[in-house]
Structure 1
Amino acid sequence: MQSGFQSLACDIMEQMTIYQEGALEKLYRWAQNHCRNVDNPDIGPLVAKAMARLQDRPILFQYVIDEYCIYRRSILVGEFINALTRGGPSGNPAPIETRAHDIQIYVTDMLVWLNKAIPVEKQNLNLLILKEVNNKLVTV
């Protein structure tokens, strides 16, 4: 910049900013599409790293988190209704509603189902909100 090429340096910086914004937009779309993959609720290290990079853009980061929550909520509601009405595969365990005549057992069975589902969701959300510090992912 001291040698009189200020406009060239500014043009290069502007072009790099455009490339960086384009890369973040592609990363956002990729992470959003991965979070829509409701068949595979597991969050891998690549998604965690992508989400750590997106934390530099809070709006994009929040959109991906919202997308994940919307899709996981719909899956969990469907699984809970199936547990209530159909039970497990081949009817084992039996549907929770078969014990609806005994309120204590009925409520306990629902709480047991929730107790099994919540840790998986907590683990996945923790992976999504990891922050990258010195090329290492750490919990926020």
Structure 2
Amino acid sequence: MSKLIFVNLPVTDLTRAIAFYEAVGARLNPQFTDETAACMVFSETIHAMLLTHDKYRMFTAKPIADAHAASGVLICLSAGSRAEVDDTVGRAAAAGGRADPGQTQDYGFMYGRSFEDPDGHHWEVMWMDMEAARKAMEKA
């Protein structure tokens, strides 16, 4: 069985967060969704669990960080093309996120941009031409 990853994110407005993540391409899994949490599926192996602050506090005694003020994690998703990177960041901005909180990375064989969701969680979207990357590494 493949391992799954569940990224748990505290959100201040669950309805807004669901709409945002649907806009950037995730789909809602109603089986693991209620009024305190929502499971957003990016792929067969990658899921984001959006948790209200009360729900999130059930899993940790630590204070919930304000992701607008401090960085605790950078989450990166792969994309199939440069255009998909741009499209995803554009959809994030249109849905109420912040486009490009980090610098655009363009190395020819690798291209990446980023966005923040409405709660300040930082996501990167990267495309890489694996064959060109392999050749670049051989030269180095």
Shorter chain as normaliser: what TM range? Answer: under 0.3
TM-score by length of 1: 0.28
Instruction: Tell me which structure has the larger Cα radius of gyration.
Output: 1
TM-score by length of 2: 0.28
Higher strand share: 2
